[in-house]
Amino acid sequence: MATIDTTSTTAVVASRRAMKPAGGGFRRRREALAAAGMASPAVFLLMIFFVIPVVLAFTLAFTNARLISPTPAHFVGLRNFRILFSDPIFWKSVRNTLYFAVVVVPVQAGLALILALLVNVKVRGVNFFRTVYFIPVVTSMVVISILWIFLYQKNGLINHLIRWVTGGLIHGPDWLNNPHTAMPAIIFMSMWQAVGFHMIIWLSGLQTIPEELYEAAAIDGSGNWDRFKYVTWPGLRATRTFILITITIAAFGLFTQVNVMTQGGPLDSTTTVVYQAVHTGYEQQQTAYASAISLVFFALVLSVSLVQRYLTRDKD
C-alpha cells in the first residue's frame, strides 16, 4: 500500500493558500485602476470647471485683481465686500433676483403640475400635447429671447393682440423699455419656456403613484379633489421637493434672458446678481469685485435652498 508524503502535501497546500491573497489583491488593484481610469475624465472635468473656479473665486475676492492689468494683484482683505454691501446697484440686483424667484417658483411649479395632470390621461393625441409643451425647453434660450424681443416691441404681436381684443381701446406699452413692465415680461417669457421641463418631472411622479390607491378612493366615494388631496399630493412629496429646489436655483441664476433682452435695463430694473457679476467681471474687468459678488450669491442660494429643503422635508 502506497504511503502519502504528508510533508510535501502540506507544503503544496500552504503554497496555494499563500498564493490566493496575492492573486486576489492583484485583481482588486486591477479593478481599482480600471475604476479610476473610467472616473478620471469626469473627475478632471469637475476639477477644471468647478473646483478650480471655486478656489479662484474665494482667493480673488480678497484681492484687487483685474482681468487685464500690468499691476500684479495683492491682498486687500474685506475691502471688496465693504464696497459691495454699500453699492445700491447690488442691493437692487438682489431685490430683482428675489422678485423673480418669488413669482416664478410657485407659479411655474403650479402651472407645470396643472399641465402634468392634463396630459396624464390615456386618450388619443395626448403625446402630441406633451411634445408641444416640451418644445420650448429644447429650444435655445438665446433664440427664444430674440424671438420675444420682437413680440414685446411697441408694434409687436402682443400689442397688436391687445388692441384687437380691446377694440383699440388699450394700447400696450413698450414692454422691455418700461421699468414697470420689463421684469414681468421676462418672468412671463421664462415661465413659458421652462414650464414644459417641470411638467415632465411632475408627470413622472404622477405615474409612480399606484393605480390601486385611486381605485380604493373611488370605491370609498371620493371626488376628484379628495383624490388629489389624499392620494396624488402625498404621493408627489419627493417630486415636489426636487422641483421646488431646481426651480429656485434656476431662478436665482437668471442671466441669459436679461443679457439678451434688456442688458439689465431700463434703469437697472432687470439687473440680477448673476448679470451684475458677469458684467462687472468681463466688461468692467473688475475680477476681484465680481468674485466677491459670486461668493455672496453662493451664500444666498445655499441659504435659500437649505431653508426650502428644511420646510419641505419629510415630517413622518
**Model pLDDT, residue 4:** 45
Same domain, 39 and 102: no
Same domain, 116 and 241: yes
Residue 312 CA, distance from chain mean position: 17
Q: For every one of its 316 residues, what pLDDT tens digit does the chain have, with 9 covering 90 and above?
A: 444 455 555 554 455 554 445 556 778 888 888 888 888 898 899 999 888 888 888 888 999 888 887 778 888 889 999 999 999 999 999 999 999 999 999 999 999 999 999 888 877 778 888 888 888 998 899 999 999 999 999 888 899 998 998 888 888 888 999 999 999 999 999 999 999 999 999 999 998 888 888 888 888 888 888 888 888 888 888 898 889 888 988 999 999 999 999 999 888 999 999 999 999 988 888 889 999 999 999 888 888 888 877 777 765 4
Same domain, 139 and 2: no
Neighbours of 178 (CB within 10 A): 17
Same domain, 17 and 120: no
Same domain, 27 and 175: no
pTM, 2 dp: 0.82
Same domain, 86 and 9: no
Range of the domain at 54: 1-60
Q: Confirm whether 142 is domain-assigned.
A: yes
Count up the domains in the chain and report the number. Answer: 2
Distance (Å, whole) CA 173 – CA 136: 25
Q: Are 245 and 254 in contact (CB under 8 A)?
A: no
